[in-house]
Structure 1
Amino acid sequence: MTEQKLTPICYVVSDSIGETAELVVKATSSQFNSGNCELRRVPYVSDKETIKEVIEEAVNFNCMVAYTLVDPDLRSFMEKITQEYQVEAVDIMGPMLDSFEKVMQREPRLQPGLVRKLDESYFKRVDSIEFAVKYDDGKDPRGILKADVTLLGVSRTSKTPLSMYLANKRLKVANLPLVPEVKPPKELYQIPSHKVIGLVINPYKLNEIRKERLKTLGLKSQANYANMDRILTELDYAEEIMKKIGCPTIDVSNRAVEETAQKILDMIRGGKDNDFDG
């Protein structure tokens, strides 16, 4: 008769969501032939009573406990009670915290869930960058309704570089070129004026920029794109649209992208720190 082996049970106890401990348990169990392990996650543990309840339940099974607790008091209690009940337990984060404290010679912050918060910040930044690419240069006007801010301006007013810079600050930015021959999309008039920022520029500065752009493309600087009359027409049209919307404007003539971006951030947050400043 073949001996039936019991599937081990592992209680994953954490003061956050318990994802770190679960990954370690899964990676470890995969090193054994069957790799089977029943996981029972107990997240957001913040008191000793919960820990005691888990251990009293765990002692009735063929089990172990893997835990990530940053609070030294809770970790100490977990170590004591698992020894008392003779439950196999592994402190996944404690030894690493102790080692870091010795090397860095300062105490840890002892805040649960910081890794998850960092991950959320990272993914929000990625999401914002993807948004900026998707709704760049008026590709899809529906992005205007979803954006934290929409940038308006004629060609070569740094709309795209600004969008990408602000995306790295976790801002969802759409940008729209203003061309006299193209009527602005209706979405532009469906959002509050404070969520739109107009980029204006000195016509002579724009003339220089456009001439340089034509050179890089191997085209003649006399093209209509860099013609002063054409530039003045575009700027007058852009000013008309911006006044109609009632949006704030920023003169980008002699500003670096970083400087303009900071001014936009200041305008959005009203002088107060928020999630966009990261």
Structure 2
Amino acid sequence: MASRRVFHLHLVSDATGETLNAVARAACAQYEDAHPIEHVYALVRGPKQLERVLGEIEDAPGIVMFTMVNEELRQRLEARCAELMTPCISVLDPVMGALGTYLGRESSHKPGSQHTMNAEYFSRIEALNYTMAHDDGQSAGDLDLADIILVGVSRTSKTPTCIYLANRGIKAANVPVVPNVALPPDLETATHPLIVGLTTSPDRLIQIRKNRLLSLHEDTDTSYVNHDAVGDEVAFARRLCARNGWPVIDVTRRSIEETAAAVLNLYNERQKEVG
């Protein structure tokens, strides 16, 4: 088996760096035997900032990936990397080139354009506020204002999935399912939101819950992690979803991003049906 390779990865951006970081991590994830040491430089928009970055690249040579629209700074970065014989990659150039050719237009060359405070931005903030106010069963009788409601037993990743969705402008609430505990009255009467059940295998759920209890220095000898009790919880939640016709997603082997993508697929399909 090949030894794990450690290398320096310099991520240089003239904006927040979110796009660059996501692309870099997605690419690195395809190489299980590689471990990048990330050096992240955001809001690099002037010569002084760039010189500091170049100094750090020289001190720790590796791969450089960047998103920069200022042509002078780009050329300086690429030229210095060439002198150091360090790979230097503009991750957006192929996409922007293809898009520009198709549209027959030049790009705006404006750094951080995707973060402009427009209507979409404020929609995301509104969605995030709604989601945080409707976490873990909190309800002011307005669950019908949600776009999506996630239901499921404790520790099925409802909260992080909702936050992920909110960052995409989706008002997402979540409601815990506990046997013998009444659900919010406005849940089963809600007609506007898509309601989705999240489930997982009892064994996986017990493992997650035990880790949670240990992190809180609490006793793990409780029905919260009892195999029979957890199995009953999961079965109860499945019956609840089946009775109400709510689709169910098994999150046992899914990341938060994969769960959110599956929820969004269901949501988009529903929007087409009602639209």
Return the TM-score normalized by structure 2: 0.56
Which residue does 1:258 correspond to in 2? 257
Counterpart CA distance in 1 for 2:233 and 2:114 is 48
Aligned match of 2:44: none
% identical equivalent positions: 35
> In structure 2, do the counterparts of structure 1 residues 245 and 141 end up closer, same or farther at CA, with 3 Å as the change threshold?
farther
What's the offset of the Cα at 1:101?
11
Aligned to 1:179: 178
TM-superposed deviation, 1:231: 0.6
Instruction: Specify whether residues 254 and 143 from structure 1 end up closer, same or farther in structure 2 by C-alpha distance, changes over 3 A only.
Output: farther
Matched residue, 1:217: 216
Question: SS of 1:156's equivalent?
Answer: coil
TM-aligned CA deviation for residue 136 of structure 1: 0.4
CA 189–210 in structure 1, closer or farther in 2 if over 3 Å, else same: same
Give matches, 1:68-83, under 5 Å. none
Residue 215 of structure 1 aligns to a residue whose secondary structure is helix
CA distance in structure 1 between the partners assigned to 2:261 and 2:106 by the alignment: 34
1:48-197 aligned at under 5 Å gives the runs 107=106, 118-140=117-139, 142-192=141-191, 195-197=194-196
Distance 1:209 1:193, change over 3 A: farther
- Letter of the structure 2 residue corresponding to residue 157 of structure 1: T
Deviation at 1:271? Answer: 9.7
Output the amino acid matched with 2:129. E
Give 1:28-47 correspondences, 5 Å limit.
none
**What CA distance in whole angstroms lies between the structure 1 residues aligned with 2:135 and 2:254?**
21
Question: Which deviates the most, 132-141 or 183-192?
Answer: 183-192
Provide the C-alpha distance between the structure 1 equivalents of 2:207 and 2:249, rounded to a whole number of angstroms.
19
Alpha-carbon separation, structure 1, partners of 2:243 and 2:212:
30
Q: 1:217-239: per-residue Cα shift (whole Å, max 9, x none)? A: 10122222111122112112211
Equivalent residue letter for 1:189? E
Is the contact between residue 147 and residue 171 of structure 2 (CA under 8 Å) also seen in structure 1? yes
5+ residue gaps, structure 1: 1-99, 274-278
| Residue pair 2:197, 2:248 contacting (<8 A) in 1 also | yes
Give the distance between the partners of 2:145 and 2:118, measured in 1 at CA: 23
1:179-208: CA deviations, max 9, x gaps? 112111221221249710000110111011
Q: Which residue does the alignment assign to 2:22? A: none
Give the C-alpha shift of residue 251 in structure 1: 0.1
Distance 2:251 2:244 in 1: 19
User: In structure 2, do the counterparts of structure 1 residues 216 and 102 end up closer, same or farther at CA, with 3 Å as the change threshold?
Assistant: closer
Residue 239 of structure 1: aligned partner: 238
Tell me how large the CA RMSD over aligned residues is.
3.0
Distance in 2 separating the partners of 1:164 and 1:144: 16
User: Do structure 1's residue 201 and structure 2's residue 193 form an aligned pair?
Assistant: no
1:83-123 alpha-carbon deviations (Å, 9 max, x no partner):
xxxxxxxxxxxxxxxxx9998996357xxxx9998511111
1:180–1:193 CA distance, 2 compared to 1 (3 A): farther
Change (3 A) 1:173 1:271: closer
Give, in angstroms, the shift of residue 270 of structure 1.
2.3
Distance between the aligned counterparts of 1:246 and 1:233, measured in 2? 20
CA contact (8 A) 1:157 1:199 kept: yes
Q: Following TM superposition, where does structure 1 have runs of at least 4 consecutive aligned residues deviating by more than 3 angstroms?
A: 100-109, 114-118
* TM-score, scaled relative to structure 1: 0.55
- SS for the counterpart of 2:186 is helix
